[in-house]
Amino acid sequence: RTRVAVLISGTGVSAEIVVVISNRPGVQGLKRASLAGIQTRVVDHKLYGSRAEFDSTIDRVLEEFGVELVCLAGFMRILTGTFVKKWNGKLLNIHPSLLPSFKGVNAQKQALQAGVRVSGCTVHFVAEEVDAGAIIVQEAVPVLSSDTEESLSDRIREAEHRAFPAAMELVASGTVGLGEDGRITWKSQS
């Protein structure tokens, strides 16, 4: 079984995980991981002088736990090119919109402001350019005329709880990979 690490900045998600790492101490996702019997680490970005030092500390924790797949689940830090290259093809992020629409922060608010009738979530391989890596899984949800940022976020989060495990399974099983050209590869049936 593939050894998975999850990086969070807040509430996180559920999955089969050897370590949960947060850049923020005391967040809900750390408590939930502990309750589930999963090891946790805090790597507080405020304690590091540079992004390189922060990222290499996370890298050291991932190596310590023999991690093979890294999932960013509500993790809010931009990762360095060095880190992204080292974990290329093994680093997944989930974003609360149907990419390439509404990149960056406040994707749900952007969707409401744009007036779209459908939004959702996207699990993608992490490339150096934020929210631009190859798409693994997407799930759509309706946007209702009564929606607030909170109600839309709740609906998208439910979709995320299906999409993230589905994407992890596709990558962990080798069914989907990241090609040399930065595009998705599907294992052929032969």
Spatial distance between the Cα atoms of 75 and 29, rounded to a whole number of angstroms: 11
With CB under 6 A as the rule, give the number of residues binding ligand 3YE. Answer: 15
Distances (CA, A) of 166 to 82, 142, 162, 169, 172: 27, 20, 6, 5, 10
In terms of CB distance, is 75 or 102 closer to ligand 3YE? 75
Residue closer to ligand 3YE by CB (options 33, 84) is 84
List strand residue ranges (DSSP E) for the chain, in order.
Answer: 4-8, 19-22, 39-42, 69-72, 91-95, 118-125, 135-142, 176-178, 184-186
Q: Does 78 bind ligand 3YE (CB under 6 A)?
A: yes
Is 169 among the residues that bind ligand 3YE (CB under 6 A)? no
Q: Does 114 bind ligand 3YE (CB under 6 A)?
A: no
Interface residue with ligand 3YE, options 15, 20, 71, 84 (CB under 6 A): 84
Q: Which residues bind ligand 3YE (CB under 6 A)?
A: 72, 75-79, 84, 93, 105, 126-128, 130-131, 133
